[in-house]
Chain A
Amino acid sequence: MNLECTTHPFGLLIAVGESRIDAAVAIQFKDRMRDLTGGTAGRILLDLSRVDFVDSSGLGAIVAALKQLDADQKLELAGLTPNVAKVFRLTRMDKVFPIHASVAEAAGPHANAS
C-alpha cells in the first residue's frame, strides 16, 4: 500500500498512490494510516485522485482512519474520481468527511507559502 505523506503549512497531506482501496488492501490501508497519523495534530488531507475504485471494505477502512484520530482532528478528502464519489454519496459518508475537488482547492490560496 503506497501512501505518500508530506507536511505542508495547511497540515499533513497523504496521497494514495494506488488505483484501488478494496477488500484486498483495506486492513493494510487502515494500519498504514494509523502509523502516519499517530501523534500528529491538525488537518489531514487524503488525496484520492489516483484511486478509481473503493468498495465497502475500503470505505470502512477510510472511516476507521478517521475514528483512530484524536477527537479534534479532521480527515478531509480531495480529488474523488466519479466512482469513488458515488460510493461516498450513496452511503452518505460525504456528510461525514469534508470533500474538496482537489488538493489545491483544499489547501487554499496560500498553500505554497512557506
Chain B
Amino acid sequence: MPMPPDAACLKARAMTGDPVLRLTLPAEPDAVRDALLRLARDLPAMGVRAESLGTVELVLAELLNNIVEHAYSAGPRGEIELELERRRSRLICTIVDRGRPMPGGALPPRRDLPVFADRRDLPEGGFGWFLIHELVEDLSYSRRNGMNVVRVGLSLG
C-alpha cells in the first residue's frame, strides 16, 4: 500500500535530515509530564523506535525532574529548554536551565547501588542519577553564562 504523501515526506526527512526537536517548558512536575507525553508522541516520527522510547523517556524524566527539584528549588520558577537531535543511531539531548549550578560544579559521580540489610534501610531516593548513568552512552555538564547545560547521548539501538 503506498504511503500517504505526508508520511512519506516525514519518513524521508527522518532518514536523511537528522531532525531536531526543540521545546521549552516551565520547571514544574506537571509540565515535565506533559513534555514527556509529547515526546513519546513525536519521537517515533524522528526515527526513535518503540524499544528505545522508554529509555529516552526515563532518562529525560530524571534529568528534567532534577532541575525542577534542585536547580530551581529555591527562588522563582524558571524554564527548561530541551533540544533533541537524532544523529544516525544516536539521540543527542541538550537540556538548559538557568537555576542553581550543580553542587561542586560537576555532575554527581557514578555510584554503585547502596547495599541494605533491612527493609527499613531501603533508600527512597537516589535512584535517579544511578538510572541516568546506567542508561546513557555519554553525559556532560557545563555552566555557561549562568546556565546549566547538560548533554546526553543515547543509543537508539
Contact surface of A with B, Cβ cutoff 8 Å: 20, 22-24, 53, 55-57, 59-61, 63-64, 66-67, 71, 82-83, 86-87, 90-92, 96
Contact in complex: B32, A56 (CB < 8 Å): no
Contact surface of B with A, Cβ cutoff 8 Å: 29-30, 32-33, 36, 54-55, 57-58, 61-62, 65, 68-69, 113, 119-120, 122-128, 130-131, 134-135
Contact in complex: B124, A67 (CB < 8 Å): yes
- Interface contacts (Cβ under 8 Å), in number, total 74
7 example contacts (A-B, Cβ-Cβ < 8 A) are as follows A22-B61, A22-B65, A23-B29, A23-B33, A53-B54, A56-B125, A90-B134
Q: Tell me the bound Cα distance from A57 to B29 in angstroms.
A: 11
Residue of B nearest to A22 (CB): B33
Give the Cβ gap from A53 to chain B, nearest Cβ, in Å: 7
By secondary structure, the B interface counts as: helix
Residue of B nearest to A91 (CB): B127
Interface centre among A82, A87, A90 (most CB of B within 10 A): A90
Give the Cβ gap from B58 to chain A, nearest Cβ, in Å: 6
Q: Which of A53, A56, A64, A66 contacts B131 (CB 8 A)?
A: A56
Q: Which of A66, A71, A86 contacts B122 (CB 8 A)?
A: A66
Give the Cβ gap from B128 to chain A, nearest Cβ, in Å: 4
Q: Tell me the bound Cα distance from A90 to B125 in angstroms.
A: 14
By secondary structure, the A interface counts as: helix
Residue of B nearest to A64 (CB): B124
Q: Which of B29, B55, B62 contacts A56 (CB 8 A)?
A: B62
Q: Which residues of A contact B30 (CB under 8 A)?
A: 24
Q: Which residues of B contact A67 (CB under 8 A)?
A: 119-120, 122, 124
Query: What are the nearest 8 A-B pairs in CB distance?
Result: A83-B54, A56-B128, A56-B127, A24-B29, A60-B124, A55-B61, A23-B65, A64-B124
Contact in complex: B120, A23 (CB < 8 Å): no
Contact in complex: A23, B125 (CB < 8 Å): no
Give the Cβ gap from B115 to chain A, nearest Cβ, in Å: 10
